[in-house]
Homo-oligomer: A and B are copies of this chain.
Protein backbone atom coordinates (compact mmCIF):
# COMPACT_ATOMS: atom_id res chain seq x y z
CA UNK A 1 0.00 0.00 0.00
CA UNK A 2 1.07 3.56 -0.53
CA UNK A 3 1.96 5.15 2.75
CA UNK A 4 0.19 8.37 3.48
CA UNK A 5 2.04 11.09 5.39
CA UNK A 6 1.26 11.24 9.12
CA UNK A 7 -0.15 14.44 10.55
CA UNK A 8 2.01 16.07 13.17
CA UNK A 9 1.10 15.69 16.86
CA UNK A 10 0.50 19.14 18.26
CA UNK A 11 -1.35 20.45 21.26
CA UNK A 12 -2.99 18.29 23.87
CA UNK A 13 -4.31 14.77 23.45
CA UNK A 14 -7.22 14.08 25.78
CA UNK A 15 -7.50 10.45 26.91
CA UNK A 16 -11.07 9.58 27.84
CA UNK A 17 -11.77 6.53 29.99
CA UNK A 18 -15.23 5.18 30.59
CA UNK A 19 -14.52 3.61 33.96
CA UNK A 20 -12.28 5.28 36.52
CA UNK A 21 -11.43 2.33 38.71
CA UNK A 22 -8.19 0.50 39.39
CA UNK A 23 -6.95 0.39 35.80
CA UNK A 24 -7.69 3.96 34.78
CA UNK A 25 -6.39 5.55 37.97
CA UNK A 26 -3.22 3.45 37.87
CA UNK A 27 -2.78 4.69 34.33
CA UNK A 28 -3.36 8.34 35.27
CA UNK A 29 -1.05 8.26 38.28
CA UNK A 30 1.61 6.40 36.35
CA UNK A 31 1.73 8.81 33.44
CA UNK A 32 2.08 11.65 35.89
CA UNK A 33 4.88 9.87 37.77
CA UNK A 34 6.70 9.22 34.51
CA UNK A 35 6.32 12.83 33.46
CA UNK A 36 7.81 13.93 36.74
CA UNK A 37 10.67 11.52 36.30
CA UNK A 38 9.96 9.51 39.45
CA UNK A 39 9.06 6.22 37.80
CA UNK A 40 9.42 4.29 34.57
CA UNK A 41 6.58 3.35 32.19
CA UNK A 42 7.54 -0.32 32.31
CA UNK A 43 5.28 -2.48 30.19
CA UNK A 44 4.72 0.27 27.66
CA UNK A 45 6.10 -0.73 24.29
CA UNK A 46 5.73 2.75 22.89
CA UNK A 47 7.82 4.27 25.68
CA UNK A 48 10.42 1.62 26.44
CA UNK A 49 11.01 -0.38 23.29
CA UNK A 50 13.37 0.12 20.37
CA UNK A 51 12.72 -0.89 16.80
CA UNK A 52 15.35 -2.19 14.42
CA UNK A 53 15.52 -0.46 11.05
CA UNK A 54 17.41 -2.06 8.21
CA UNK A 55 19.79 -5.00 8.51
CA UNK A 56 21.31 -5.77 11.90
CA UNK A 57 24.71 -4.64 10.69
CA UNK A 58 23.49 -1.07 10.27
CA UNK A 59 22.74 -0.99 13.95
CA UNK A 60 19.81 1.43 13.70
CA UNK A 61 17.60 0.83 16.74
CA UNK A 62 15.68 3.97 17.68
CA UNK A 63 13.11 4.00 20.45
CA UNK A 64 9.64 3.59 18.99
CA UNK A 65 8.63 6.92 20.45
CA UNK A 66 11.45 8.56 18.52
CA UNK A 67 10.74 6.62 15.35
CA UNK A 68 7.07 7.46 14.82
CA UNK A 69 5.47 10.78 15.74
CA UNK A 70 3.60 9.73 18.87
CA UNK A 71 1.97 12.26 21.15
CA UNK A 72 4.48 12.99 23.93
CA UNK A 73 3.44 12.14 27.48
CA UNK A 74 3.53 15.81 28.41
CA UNK A 75 0.73 16.46 25.95
CA UNK A 76 -1.69 14.03 27.60
CA UNK A 77 -4.75 15.14 29.54
CA UNK A 78 -7.33 12.88 31.20
CA UNK A 79 -11.05 12.69 31.74
CA UNK A 80 -13.43 9.84 32.55
CA UNK A 81 -16.81 8.60 33.61
CA UNK A 82 -17.73 6.38 36.55
CA UNK A 83 -20.77 5.20 38.47
CA UNK A 84 -19.03 6.23 41.68
CA UNK A 85 -18.48 9.95 42.26
CA UNK A 86 -14.97 9.44 43.73
CA UNK A 87 -12.26 11.46 42.07
CA UNK A 88 -9.16 9.69 40.80
CA UNK A 89 -7.32 10.02 44.10
CA UNK A 90 -10.17 8.57 46.10
CA UNK A 91 -10.78 5.82 43.57
CA UNK A 92 -7.10 4.91 43.44
CA UNK A 93 -6.89 4.83 47.23
CA UNK A 94 -9.82 2.45 47.37
CA UNK A 95 -8.39 0.27 44.61
CA UNK A 96 -5.19 -0.30 46.63
CA UNK A 97 -3.06 -0.92 43.57
CA UNK A 98 -0.43 1.72 44.11
CA UNK A 99 1.24 2.20 47.47
CA UNK A 100 -0.12 5.01 49.57
CA UNK A 101 3.20 6.81 49.34
CA UNK A 102 3.10 6.73 45.53
CA UNK A 103 -0.42 8.08 45.46
CA UNK A 104 0.26 10.86 47.95
CA UNK A 105 2.97 12.17 45.63
CA UNK A 106 0.36 12.95 42.96
CA UNK A 107 -2.53 13.78 45.23
CA UNK A 108 -3.41 17.14 43.74
CA UNK A 109 -3.18 15.92 40.17
CA UNK A 110 -5.38 12.93 40.92
CA UNK A 111 -7.95 14.89 42.90
CA UNK A 112 -8.38 17.09 39.83
CA UNK A 113 -9.75 14.23 37.72
CA UNK A 114 -13.40 13.95 38.66
CA UNK A 115 -15.69 11.47 36.98
CA UNK A 116 -18.49 12.57 34.69
CA UNK A 117 -21.81 10.84 35.24
CA UNK A 118 -21.82 7.37 33.71
CA UNK A 119 -24.25 5.85 31.28
CA UNK A 120 -24.88 2.68 33.23
CA UNK A 121 -27.42 0.01 33.90
CA UNK A 122 -27.30 -2.94 36.26
CA UNK A 123 -28.90 -4.99 33.54
CA UNK A 124 -25.46 -5.27 31.99
CA UNK A 125 -23.24 -5.42 35.09
CA UNK A 126 -25.10 -7.27 37.81
CA UNK A 127 -22.63 -6.99 40.65
CA UNK A 128 -22.08 -3.27 40.46
CA UNK A 129 -24.08 -0.19 41.31
CA UNK A 130 -23.40 3.44 42.01
CA UNK A 131 -25.11 6.80 42.25
CA UNK A 132 -23.17 8.78 39.63
CA UNK A 133 -25.30 7.82 36.63
CA UNK A 134 -27.06 9.59 33.81
CA UNK A 135 -30.78 9.43 33.27
CA UNK A 136 -32.31 10.00 29.88
CA UNK A 137 -35.44 9.04 28.07
CA UNK A 138 -33.70 6.65 25.72
CA UNK A 139 -30.34 5.30 24.69
CA UNK A 140 -29.93 7.75 21.85
CA UNK A 141 -30.25 10.56 24.31
CA UNK A 142 -27.70 8.89 26.60
CA UNK A 143 -25.31 8.70 23.66
CA UNK A 144 -25.93 12.35 22.89
CA UNK A 145 -25.10 13.22 26.48
CA UNK A 146 -21.83 11.32 26.22
CA UNK A 147 -21.03 13.22 23.00
CA UNK A 148 -21.71 16.47 24.82
CA UNK A 149 -19.46 15.31 27.70
CA UNK A 150 -16.70 14.67 25.19
CA UNK A 151 -17.04 18.10 23.61
CA UNK A 152 -17.09 19.73 27.02
CA UNK A 153 -14.02 17.87 28.20
CA UNK A 154 -12.09 18.73 25.05
CA UNK A 155 -13.02 22.35 25.47
CA UNK A 156 -12.20 22.36 29.15
CA UNK A 157 -8.76 20.88 28.54
CA UNK A 158 -8.23 22.98 25.38
CA UNK A 159 -7.29 19.67 23.74
CA UNK A 160 -6.36 19.36 20.08
CA UNK A 161 -7.92 15.93 19.82
CA UNK A 162 -8.99 12.93 21.91
CA UNK A 163 -8.96 9.14 22.13
CA UNK A 164 -11.17 6.85 24.17
CA UNK A 165 -10.18 3.59 25.92
CA UNK A 166 -12.86 1.55 27.69
CA UNK A 167 -11.61 0.85 31.22
CA UNK A 168 -14.98 -0.08 32.70
CA UNK A 169 -16.23 -3.36 34.08
CA UNK A 170 -17.07 -6.37 31.99
CA UNK A 171 -20.64 -6.31 30.78
CA UNK A 172 -22.72 -9.43 30.37
CA UNK A 173 -22.27 -11.62 27.34
CA UNK A 174 -24.36 -10.48 24.36
CA UNK A 175 -24.54 -11.99 20.89
CA UNK A 176 -24.70 -9.47 18.06
CA UNK A 177 -28.39 -8.86 17.29
CA UNK A 178 -30.38 -7.38 14.47
CA UNK A 179 -29.67 -3.88 15.67
CA UNK A 180 -25.94 -4.45 15.29
CA UNK A 181 -26.12 -5.27 11.60
CA UNK A 182 -26.03 -1.74 10.22
CA UNK A 183 -25.68 1.80 11.41
CA UNK A 184 -29.25 2.48 10.50
CA UNK A 185 -30.51 -0.45 12.55
CA UNK A 186 -28.30 0.55 15.43
CA UNK A 187 -29.58 4.08 15.54
CA UNK A 188 -33.12 2.80 15.40
CA UNK A 189 -32.24 0.54 18.29
CA UNK A 190 -30.86 3.47 20.27
CA UNK A 191 -34.12 5.27 19.84
CA UNK A 192 -36.16 2.16 20.69
CA UNK A 193 -34.04 1.33 23.79
CA UNK A 194 -33.13 -2.04 22.30
CA UNK A 195 -31.93 -4.23 25.20
CA UNK A 196 -29.19 -5.63 22.94
CA UNK A 197 -27.44 -2.26 23.19
CA UNK A 198 -25.31 -2.03 26.28
CA UNK A 199 -23.75 1.11 27.77
CA UNK A 200 -20.28 0.40 26.39
CA UNK A 201 -21.78 0.50 22.91
CA UNK A 202 -23.10 3.97 23.64
CA UNK A 203 -19.61 5.18 24.49
CA UNK A 204 -18.15 3.58 21.38
CA UNK A 205 -20.86 5.10 19.22
CA UNK A 206 -20.41 8.52 20.80
CA UNK A 207 -16.65 8.46 20.37
CA UNK A 208 -16.75 7.43 16.74
CA UNK A 209 -19.44 9.98 15.96
CA UNK A 210 -17.13 12.59 17.44
CA UNK A 211 -14.27 11.37 15.24
CA UNK A 212 -12.43 9.93 18.20
CA UNK A 213 -10.55 6.61 18.07
CA UNK A 214 -11.97 3.94 20.36
CA UNK A 215 -10.43 0.86 22.04
CA UNK A 216 -12.31 -1.68 24.13
CA UNK A 217 -10.37 -3.12 27.05
CA UNK A 218 -13.14 -5.44 28.24
CA UNK A 219 -14.44 -8.66 26.70
CA UNK A 220 -18.01 -7.57 26.06
CA UNK A 221 -19.51 -6.55 22.73
CA UNK A 222 -18.75 -2.87 22.30
CA UNK A 223 -17.54 -1.72 18.88
CA UNK A 224 -17.03 -5.11 17.28
CA UNK A 225 -20.09 -5.34 15.06
CA UNK A 226 -20.98 -4.13 11.57
CA UNK A 227 -22.87 -1.00 12.61
CA UNK A 228 -19.92 0.62 14.37
CA UNK A 229 -17.35 -0.76 11.93
CA UNK A 230 -19.39 0.96 9.22
CA UNK A 231 -19.49 4.17 11.21
CA UNK A 232 -15.75 4.02 11.88
CA UNK A 233 -15.01 3.81 8.19
CA UNK A 234 -17.50 6.56 7.43
CA UNK A 235 -16.01 8.85 10.05
CA UNK A 236 -12.45 7.84 9.19
CA UNK A 237 -11.84 6.71 12.77
CA UNK A 238 -9.60 3.83 13.87
CA UNK A 239 -10.99 1.36 16.38
CA UNK A 240 -9.50 -1.63 18.19
CA UNK A 241 -10.41 -4.33 20.67
CA UNK A 242 -11.01 -6.31 22.70
CA UNK A 243 -10.12 -7.32 26.26
CA UNK A 244 -6.66 -6.24 27.36
CA UNK A 245 -4.23 -9.14 27.18
CA UNK A 246 -2.67 -9.00 30.60
CA UNK A 247 -2.09 -11.96 32.91
CA UNK A 248 -2.77 -15.57 32.16
CA UNK A 249 -3.78 -15.14 28.54
CA UNK A 250 -0.61 -13.18 27.90
CA UNK A 251 1.39 -16.13 29.15
CA UNK A 252 -0.75 -18.54 27.17
CA UNK A 253 -0.13 -16.70 23.92
CA UNK A 254 3.57 -16.82 24.65
CA UNK A 255 3.81 -20.43 25.70
CA UNK A 256 1.42 -22.11 23.29
CA UNK A 257 3.25 -20.86 20.18
CA UNK A 258 6.49 -22.04 21.75
CA UNK A 259 5.19 -25.56 22.31
CA UNK A 260 3.69 -25.60 18.86
CA UNK A 261 6.93 -24.39 17.27
CA UNK A 262 8.54 -27.52 18.67
CA UNK A 263 5.61 -29.73 17.58
CA UNK A 264 4.90 -30.80 21.13
CA UNK A 265 1.36 -32.05 21.71
CA UNK A 266 -1.23 -30.94 24.27
CA UNK A 267 -3.83 -33.10 26.02
CA UNK A 268 -5.03 -30.69 28.67
CA UNK A 269 -4.74 -27.07 29.73
CA UNK A 270 -6.45 -26.06 32.92
CA UNK A 271 -6.36 -22.41 33.88
CA UNK A 272 -7.60 -21.10 37.17
CA UNK A 273 -7.65 -17.46 38.19
CA UNK A 274 -7.93 -15.82 41.58
CA UNK A 275 -9.05 -12.24 41.34
CA UNK A 276 -10.03 -10.07 44.26
CA UNK A 277 -10.69 -6.61 42.91
CA UNK A 278 -13.88 -5.07 41.50
CA UNK A 279 -13.24 -6.89 38.25
CA UNK A 280 -13.25 -10.19 40.12
CA UNK A 281 -16.48 -9.25 41.84
CA UNK A 282 -18.13 -8.38 38.53
CA UNK A 283 -16.92 -11.62 36.92
CA UNK A 284 -18.41 -13.58 39.80
CA UNK A 285 -21.69 -13.05 37.95
CA UNK A 286 -22.10 -15.91 35.43
CA UNK A 287 -23.27 -13.62 32.64
CA UNK A 288 -20.26 -11.34 32.89
CA UNK A 289 -18.04 -14.36 33.25
CA UNK A 290 -19.40 -15.76 30.04
CA UNK A 291 -18.20 -12.71 28.12
CA UNK A 292 -14.76 -13.24 29.59
CA UNK A 293 -14.71 -16.96 29.08
CA UNK A 294 -15.52 -16.58 25.40
CA UNK A 295 -12.62 -14.22 24.77
CA UNK A 296 -10.22 -16.35 26.79
CA UNK A 297 -11.21 -19.70 25.36
CA UNK A 298 -10.67 -19.17 21.67
CA UNK A 299 -7.03 -18.37 22.15
CA UNK A 300 -5.62 -21.88 22.13
CA UNK A 301 -7.66 -23.14 19.22
CA UNK A 302 -6.57 -20.23 17.13
CA UNK A 303 -2.91 -20.69 17.95
CA UNK A 304 -2.74 -24.46 17.84
CA UNK A 305 -4.85 -25.15 14.75
CA UNK A 306 -6.23 -28.52 15.84
CA UNK A 307 -7.82 -28.85 12.40
CA UNK A 308 -4.33 -28.87 10.89
CA UNK A 309 -2.74 -30.85 13.73
CA UNK A 310 -5.39 -33.28 14.97
CA UNK A 311 -2.75 -35.68 16.30
CA UNK A 312 -1.18 -32.99 18.44
CA UNK A 313 -4.12 -30.84 19.51
CA UNK A 314 -7.26 -32.65 18.39
CA UNK A 315 -8.30 -33.83 21.83
CA UNK A 316 -7.06 -30.94 23.93
CA UNK A 317 -9.21 -30.47 27.03
CA UNK A 318 -9.10 -26.73 27.75
CA UNK A 319 -10.88 -25.18 30.73
CA UNK A 320 -10.73 -21.71 32.24
CA UNK A 321 -12.06 -20.81 35.65
CA UNK A 322 -12.14 -17.37 37.27
CA UNK A 323 -12.78 -17.11 40.99
CA UNK A 324 -13.58 -14.06 43.02
CA UNK A 325 -11.09 -14.26 45.85
CA UNK A 326 -11.06 -11.11 47.97
CA UNK A 327 -7.99 -11.77 50.15
CA UNK A 328 -5.61 -10.72 47.39
CA UNK A 329 -7.26 -7.57 46.01
CA UNK A 330 -5.76 -6.38 42.73
CA UNK A 331 -2.91 -8.87 43.01
CA UNK A 332 -4.43 -11.54 40.88
CA UNK A 333 -3.04 -15.01 40.43
CA UNK A 334 -3.25 -17.33 37.48
CA UNK A 335 -2.39 -20.98 37.89
CA UNK A 336 -2.09 -23.13 34.80
CA UNK A 337 -1.67 -26.84 34.56
CA UNK A 338 -0.59 -28.03 31.15
CA UNK A 339 -0.51 -31.65 30.04
CA UNK A 340 2.00 -32.02 27.25
CA UNK A 341 2.79 -34.99 25.05
CA UNK A 342 6.19 -35.65 23.57
CA UNK A 343 8.00 -38.30 21.54
CA UNK A 344 5.80 -41.40 21.09
CA UNK A 345 3.04 -39.73 23.07
CA UNK A 346 4.81 -39.81 26.43
CA UNK A 347 3.27 -37.38 28.93
CA UNK A 348 4.88 -34.36 30.56
CA UNK A 349 3.42 -31.58 32.66
CA UNK A 350 3.96 -27.91 33.24
CA UNK A 351 2.58 -25.71 36.01
CA UNK A 352 2.69 -21.95 35.80
CA UNK A 353 1.85 -19.76 38.73
CA UNK A 354 1.66 -16.11 37.75
CA UNK A 355 1.44 -13.79 40.74
CA UNK A 356 0.63 -10.67 38.84
CA UNK A 357 -1.24 -7.42 39.25
CA UNK A 358 -4.19 -6.68 37.12
CA UNK A 359 -3.89 -2.93 36.85
CA UNK A 360 -0.11 -2.86 36.74
CA UNK A 361 -0.26 -4.97 33.61
CA UNK A 362 -3.20 -3.09 32.11
CA UNK A 363 -2.09 0.51 32.64
CA UNK A 364 0.73 0.52 30.06
CA UNK A 365 -1.60 -1.15 27.58
CA UNK A 366 -4.03 1.75 28.01
CA UNK A 367 -1.19 4.16 27.34
CA UNK A 368 0.06 2.34 24.25
CA UNK A 369 -3.42 2.01 22.79
CA UNK A 370 -4.17 5.67 23.36
CA UNK A 371 -0.97 6.72 21.65
CA UNK A 372 -1.07 4.22 18.80
CA UNK A 373 -4.73 4.81 17.97
CA UNK A 374 -4.07 8.53 17.96
CA UNK A 375 -1.13 7.89 15.63
CA UNK A 376 -3.26 5.67 13.41
CA UNK A 377 -5.86 8.40 13.20
CA UNK A 378 -3.28 10.95 12.18
CA UNK A 379 -1.92 8.46 9.65
CA UNK A 380 -5.35 8.26 8.05
CA UNK A 381 -6.00 4.66 9.08
CA UNK A 382 -9.66 3.97 9.75
CA UNK A 383 -11.73 1.00 10.84
CA UNK A 384 -10.42 -2.04 12.65
CA UNK A 385 -6.72 -1.83 13.49
CA UNK A 386 -5.74 -5.48 13.35
CA UNK A 387 -2.07 -4.67 13.87
CA UNK A 388 -2.97 -3.81 17.48
CA UNK A 389 -4.00 -7.44 18.14
CA UNK A 390 -0.84 -7.61 20.24
CA UNK A 391 -2.69 -5.93 23.09
CA UNK A 392 -5.90 -7.95 23.13
CA UNK A 393 -7.18 -11.31 24.31
CA UNK A 394 -9.70 -11.43 21.50
CA UNK A 395 -8.46 -9.27 18.65
CA UNK A 396 -11.14 -7.43 16.77
CA UNK A 397 -10.61 -8.15 13.08
CA UNK A 398 -12.42 -7.16 9.94
CA UNK A 399 -15.32 -9.44 8.99
CA UNK A 400 -13.92 -12.57 7.39
CA UNK A 401 -10.41 -12.16 8.72
CA UNK A 402 -8.90 -14.70 11.06
CA UNK A 403 -7.76 -13.66 14.53
CA UNK A 404 -4.05 -13.92 15.16
CA UNK A 405 -3.35 -14.87 18.80
CA UNK A 406 0.34 -15.74 18.65
CA UNK A 407 2.06 -12.95 20.59
CA UNK A 408 5.19 -13.18 18.47
CA UNK A 409 3.39 -12.86 15.15
CA UNK A 410 1.33 -10.06 16.67
CA UNK A 411 4.51 -8.34 17.79
CA UNK A 412 6.19 -8.77 14.42
CA UNK A 413 3.16 -7.35 12.74
CA UNK A 414 2.92 -4.41 15.14
CA UNK A 415 6.50 -3.46 14.48
CA UNK A 416 6.40 -4.09 10.75
CA UNK A 417 3.32 -1.89 10.57
CA UNK A 418 5.20 0.87 12.34
CA UNK A 419 8.10 0.40 9.93
CA UNK A 420 5.75 0.71 7.00
CA UNK A 421 4.04 3.77 8.49
CA UNK A 422 7.46 5.38 8.71
CA UNK A 423 8.34 4.39 5.15
CA UNK A 424 10.84 1.69 6.12
CA UNK A 425 11.11 -1.95 5.02
CA UNK A 426 9.48 -4.72 7.08
CA UNK A 427 11.81 -7.40 8.46
CA UNK A 428 11.92 -11.14 7.77
CA UNK A 429 14.56 -12.05 10.40
CA UNK A 430 16.53 -14.06 7.91
CA UNK A 431 20.27 -13.88 8.21
CA UNK A 432 21.58 -11.12 6.03
CA UNK A 433 23.43 -13.38 3.67
CA UNK A 434 20.20 -15.23 3.05
CA UNK A 435 18.18 -12.10 2.37
Contact = CB atoms under 8 A, between A and B. Distances in A.
B413 A431 contact: yes
Nearest to A50: B308
B429 A412 contact: yes
A311 interface: yes
A265 interface: yes
Nearest to A56: B402
A6 interface: no
Interface stretch (A97-105, A205-213, A369-377): A97-105
B350 A352 contact: yes
Contacts of A337: 274, 333, 335
Interface in A235-292: 250-251, 253-255, 257-259, 261-265, 267-268, 270, 272, 274
Interface stretch (A12-20, A129-137, A339-347): A339-347
Contact of A263 (B45, B253, B327, B434): B45
B355 A353 contact: no
A420 interface: yes
A180 to B, nearest CB: 24
B270 A250 contact: no
Given A39-B345, A263-B42, A344-B42, A321 B321 contact: yes
A402 to B, nearest CB: 8
A380 interface: no
A40 B412 contact: no
A386 interface: yes
A399 interface: no
A349 interface: yes
Interface in A396-412: 402, 407-409, 411-412
A56 B353 CA distance: 35
B262 A251 contact: no
A109 interface: no
Interface in A308-334: 308-309, 311-312, 317, 319, 321, 323, 325-328, 333
A21 interface: no
B308 A267 contact: no
Contact of A343 (B43, B56, B344, B430): B43
A33 interface: yes
Given A254-B258, A321-B321, A342 B355 contact: no
Contacts of A326: 268, 317
Contacts of A254: 254-255, 257-259
Interface stretch (A118-126, A150-158, A195-203, A360-368): A360-368
B262 A250 contact: yes
Contact of A48 (B312, B328, B430): B312
B413 A430 contact: yes
A344 B33 CA distance: 8
Contact of A434 (B48, B311, B416): B416
A40 to B, nearest CB: 6
A174 interface: no
Contacts of A34: 344
Most buried by B among A42, A323, A341, A427: A42
Most buried by B among A47, A312, A344: A344
14 contacts: A44-B343, A48-B309, A50-B309, A255-B258, A270-B274, A335-B351, A343-B361, A346-B357, A348-B355, A349-B354, A350-B355, A350-B356, A417-B434, A420-B434
